[in-house]
Amino acid sequence: MDVEQAKKILQENEIKQVLCAFADVRGYLQTFSIPARKFIEGGAFEGIGFDGSSIRGFKSINESDMVWVPDVSTLKIVPWETDPVQKTAIMFGDVYEAWGSAQSDADPRGYVAKRMEKKLADLGLSAIFGPEIEFFLFENVDPTKLIYDLWVSPNGGTGDSWGPPRVMPESPELASGGFIIRPKEGYFRPPPEDTTVTYRNELVDILEKLDVMVEYHHHEVATAGQVELDFEPKTMVDVGDAFYLYKFAAKNLAAMYGMIATFMPKPLYLDNASGMHVHQSLWEGEPFSGKNIFADPDDEYMLSQKARYYIGGLLEHAKALTALTAPTVNSYKRLVPGFEAPIYICWSPRNRSALIRVPMYHKKPSAIRAEYRGVDPSTNPYLSLPAMVAAGLDGIKKKIEPGDPIMEDVYELSPARKRELGIGELPTTLRDAIDHLATDEVIQDVLGTHIFDAFMEIKIDEWNQYCLYITPWEFMKYLDI
């Protein structure tokens, strides 16, 4: 799509406003609105100035002028805005320095993701990704209301295991007077137990109008409206854009239902959390039509040697990657034993207890891929996807062997057996993860100096805020000390 085609779309659909979209360093979607006539009649396609000092991780106040430049190929009409006054389109763009003089090194999409795509192209390669994005759909969450509910406490609520008060969401799947989905029993539940079907069906329709084509969707393992909708694989920048369209649509549709869609990784105590497993593969030439270099029809698992090296690179850099793939304090409430989350650094075919799984659904070269399971939906995909590719390419460059695949349930292995197999563990806190990122030059190089420094500053501050907070658990545990 070129500028003239974009103008035609805006005119023919009588669009009144254009949401100009980009992501900050944390991974939050940022938008501002420009009347569509500024694109149709004016010079808005040349770029629009904004205050970069008000965007987390971008610029200081003394160098705040920045320019958002639209990527016309991403123009989409927002399907649910049908009122003539409210008709809106959304378009992603890249961020440039003052005067539009140079690509900004503060921009995750334009500087990190596009730079990695160019590096791959220079190598004659391309990468495709298929994320499995999970989230919760609540009727309401009120952080000011703490409920003391003993039945969820570990070990029956005895001895030192009495649970603290917790914030419980309002959900029809937890309400009395109807069917209740018990914790960890929600996977593939049908209606009427699954109360999200109507919402999901409508979300699929919206996403497909935004060119995010859904492959399948279902209720996930947790109770209280945990769902997953998976869309067709895309290349790096496109999949990052689709990730934000997915969140944008899910949250807005939920609001229209009088509900809340949350991508917080672990909102429920003692139930499964939301992950974002990322399927990925490298291709020679064009994606989908070229050659999948991960595939070897003669191998037991259909995996090429380069795929094994790529997996080796992911395992080698897994601890540093976790700072980007699980970038919140809450992420590490997910990365614990007992809730199907990957905490052990190993790989395996079929095995969902490993950090990296090689799916074995279809025995055809185009379907061969690695699934990195240590990602959650709080990630910034413009940072984490390029970082995963950089780790994999480092594995190919250095010929890092991933070791033998682990065929056992890693959760059931004894500590001695895990040591014998050389299985390490992912960081257990955000602080641990950013400390590993601070020593990993391969991942730092992908981010660039500015984004690395900004990300570290933001996350260290986030960790310090968390450490200072006094939680209800501490009152329950220590008030009578």
Q: pLDDT tens digit string along 291-301? A: 999 999 988 89
pLDDT at 161 over 60: no
pLDDT of residue 383: 98
Options 115, 166, 218, 352, the catalytic residue: 352
Q: pLDDT band at residue 266, thresholds of 50, 70 and 90?
A: very high
Mean pLDDT, residues 77-93: 96
Confidence band of 277 (pLDDT split at 50, 70, 90) = very high
The mean predicted confidence, pLDDT, of the chain is: 91
Query: Is 277 labeled as catalytic in the residue annotation?
Result: yes
317 is catalytic: no
* Identified catalytic residue from 26, 373, 431, 436: 373
Considering the candidates 2, 41, 46, 51, report the single residue annotated as catalytic: 51
> Which residue is catalytic, options 132, 139, 238, 440?
132
Concatenated DSSP letters of 171-232: -TTT-TTS--PPTT--TTPPTTT---HHHHHHHHHHHHHTT--EEEEEE-SSTTTEEEEEE-
Please tell me which residue in 228, 271, 376, 440 is annotated as part of the active site. Answer: 228
pLDDT confidence band for 476 (50 / 70 / 90): confident
Name beta bridge partners: 49: 67
Per-residue model confidence as pLDDT tens digits over 204-255: 999 999 999 999 999 988 888 999 999 999 999 999 999 999 999 999 999 9
Mean per-residue pLDDT, 97-109: 90
Catalytic one of 277, 334, 431, 436: 277
pTM here? 0.94
Which residues, 6 or more positions from 203, have their beta carbon under 8 angstroms from its beta carbon? Answer: 217, 229, 249, 250, 253
Q: Is 134 a catalytic residue?
A: yes
Catalytic residue among 94, 139, 220, 238: 220
pLDDT of 153: 54
CA distance 347 to 422: 12
Tell me whether residue 51 is one of the annotated catalytic residues: yes
Highest mean pLDDT among 55-59, 140-144, 209-213, 360-364: 209-213
Q: Is the pLDDT of residue 156 over 60?
A: no
pLDDT for the residue 121? 96
Amino acid at 24: D
Residue 373 appears among annotated catalytic residues: yes
Residue among 81, 97, 107, 134 flagged as catalytic = 134
Instruction: Based on the residue annotation, tell me whether 308 is a catalytic residue of this protein.
Output: no
Whether 441 is a known active-site residue: answer: no
pLDDT for 196 equals 93
Among the options 71, 296, 371, 376, which is catalytic? 371
